[in-house]
Amino acid sequence: MKKCVLSVFCVLAGFILTVSLTTPAFALEFGARAYYWFPELKSDLRLDASGSAGTEFNLKDTFDLSNKGIPSVEAYAGIGKHHFSLMYTEVKYSGTQTLSSPINFGGKAYNGNVSGDFNFRMIDAEYQIDLLNFENLLAGFSIGAIGKVKYFEGEAKLSNATLGETAQSFRLPIPMVGVGAHLGILANILEARAKFTGMGYSGNYIYEGLADISVTPFPFVDIHGGYRVIGVRVDNVSDVTAKTTFQGPFVALTIGW
């Protein structure tokens, strides 16, 4: 995971440097953003084994998982109409329940008192180019095209005293495309943004949407409030079939120049 983050960061840094050297002089922006997200989890999961279908079950209901706050961190930079960002999100859920009916998971029939651990990690390397930029409309309005790669990694694990532990992970580097918009409402004090990206192929899909309003109480500091949704469908990848949605409000703090 650390090597993957470093590799993506190096590629992104190289791309920013290349554009900066080949683009006429524009104002440079850069900074960091910290999110705290409060999503509701909805997820159905199945793990097959050697051609034998597993039992599909709802993670939240089966293991009585509680919704939890999720931190994310993002670094960004902009050169004129070019905008770049690198974002990392990780979430872990765990619970122990006495099952009312067995779950066939990776070829083992788990029953009785069973523990479940479910982990998700996402790295987003994103590039946006402004296609329309109306600087004189209100305090500024722009619409851009987005291209990004989302590295999505998940791990599911069940265990009990009788059968021991069964774990399975999957990894998906997914190219995504979409659109983003930015609206200045009150000079550089109040702003709004929204973006949506997605991709689907071979029974798999992923989509992500984000919208927020930010206020700038002090120079170089923005406070955000918004809503984020991520939907993922994995169809028999490494014997894993899953449909997962995270959606809910978030707050964020940006320090940038």
What does the H/E/C string look like for 159-223?
EECCCEEEEEEEEEEEEEEEEEEEEEEECCCEEEEEEEEEEEECCEEEEEEEEEEEEEEECCEEE
Residue 104 lies in a domain: no
**141 domain-assigned:** yes
The predicted structure's pLDDT at residue 22: 46
- Contact call for residues 139 and 186 (beta carbons, < 8 A): yes
User: What confidence score (pLDDT) does residue 257 get?
Assistant: 87
Q: What is the pLDDT of residue 2?
A: 45
Single-letter code of the amino acid located at 112: G
- How do 204-218 and 108-134 pair as beta strands? unpaired
- What total of structural domains would you count in the chain? 1
Q: Could you give the percent of the chain with pLDDT greater than 90?
A: 68
For residue 149, being part of any structural domain is answered with yes
* Within a domain: 214: yes
The pLDDT, as a whole number, for residue 220 is 92
Give the pLDDT of residue 11: 46
Residues lower than pLDDT 50 in the chain:
1-2, 4-6, 8-9, 11-13, 15-25
* Residue 20, pLDDT score: 42
Domain residues for the domain of 217 are 2-46+63-91+120-153+175-256
The first and second tokens of residue 102, run together, are 């067995």
Q: Is residue 187 part of a domain?
A: yes
Instruction: Give the integer Cα–Cα distance in Å for 182 and 192.
Output: 6
Half-sphere exposure of 143 (CA within 13 A, CB side): 4
pLDDT recorded at residue 134? 78
CATH number of the structural domain spanning residue 83: 2.40.160
Any domain includes 233: yes
pLDDT at position 16, please?
Answer: 43
- Reduced to 3 states (helix: H, G, I; strand: E, B; else coil), residue 81 is coil
